[in-house]
Amino acid sequence: MRYVKGLAADSAADIIAQRAIHPFRSIEDLKLRVPAMQTSELTALAEVGALNFIAGTKGFHRRDALWQVARAVRRAGALWEKPQEWAAASDSNSMIGSESNGTVQDAKSPLSPMTVDERLVTDFCGTGLTTGPHPMAYHRAELKKQNIRCALELQRLPNGLRVRVAGSVIARQRPGTAKGFVFLSLEDETGISNAIITPQLFREAHLTIVHQQFLLIEGRLQNLDNVISVKAESIRPLQISRAELPSHDFH
């Protein structure tokens, strides 16, 4: 929970303490047992998928959780003074705690589940990482058809081979002693590959190198004494995801 942006340490501690007593039966139950939690904190947890498990309903997804958060923060009526007792008496596998005008509401919302990319966007926006597959993993089959190598493969390839690699840029470095050369680190689901950019190529493709999150780089493999990198000859952006992955640039 330390990774969830906007979640206070006190709220996280209260969640852990209450969870140790007995599991949360619903998002309404969570809200009432951790009353100091703000709506923004519940929303942050729902967006990153941390509340999907609560309902115990198969197929319950993040937008269902967001829907229930919006209902849970509304002022409770008289029927909801003791939601735990109601939840214990009801079928908790198909409903979660919310009752309005005397009728029980289904756990699921009318909203569609998030797409894979929408989940990635909210993961990286809300926590700076994802607990699911790396964005590149979702496209690996298509990348293989284009003869684009993954980082792990480079270790087994001979020096001087012309290769194509791709990934999310996690570091951009331009040391003062490197005579204008730029060094990139690309991450995919198998590891990290490194690319060397000449001063001329950096000038020609400056906007792409600096502002694009995912890059496709083609060049010659340098595999000497287990130091592996690709000397780039061409660079172009790769449309993989709208997620903004963190990177360390020119430090």
SS3 call for 38: coil
pLDDT in tens, 222-244: 998 888 999 999 999 999 999 99
The predicted pLDDT at position 103 comes to 33
**Cβ neighbours of residue 116 closer than 8 Å, sequence gap 6 or more:** 138
The predicted pLDDT at position 100 comes to 37
Does pLDDT of 170 surpass 70?
A: yes
The predicted pLDDT at position 57 comes to 66
Contact in structure between 222 and 229 (CB atoms under 8 Å) = yes
The predicted pLDDT at position 72 comes to 82
pTM score of the predicted model = 0.79
Confidence of residue 178 (pLDDT cuts 50, 70, 90): confident
Kindly tell me the sign of the dihedral angle through the C-alpha atoms of 134, 137, 143, 149.
Answer: positive
Q: List C-alpha distances in Å: 166 to 42, 163, 189, 216.
A: 36, 10, 11, 4
The predicted pLDDT at position 56 comes to 65
The predicted pLDDT at position 185 comes to 97
The predicted pLDDT at position 55 comes to 62
Sequence spans of domains, the chain = 9-114, 135-249
Q: Which of 87-91, 145-149, 206-210 has the lowest mean pLDDT?
A: 87-91
**Cβ neighbours of residue 36 closer than 8 Å, sequence gap 6 or more:** 10, 11, 14
Fold assignment, 135-249: OB fold (Dihydrolipoamide Acetyltransferase, E2P) (2.40.50)
pLDDT in tens, 49-86: 999 887 666 778 999 999 989 888 775 555 444 444 44
Query: Helix 116-127 vs helix 39-47: angle between axes, to the nearest 10 degrees?
Result: 130
The predicted pLDDT at position 1 comes to 92
Cα 12–Cα 96–Cα 14 angle in degrees, nearest 5 = 15
Average pLDDT taken over every residue of the chain: 87
The predicted pLDDT at position 250 comes to 83
Q: Tell which residue, 121, 69, 122, 119, has the closest CA to residue 98.
A: 69
pLDDT in tens, 84-139: 444 444 333 333 333 333 333 455 678 899 999 999 999 999 999 999 999 999 99
pLDDT in tens, 1-30: 999 999 999 999 999 999 999 999 889 899
The predicted pLDDT at position 204 comes to 96
The predicted pLDDT at position 224 comes to 85
Contact in structure between 232 and 173 (CB atoms under 8 Å) = no
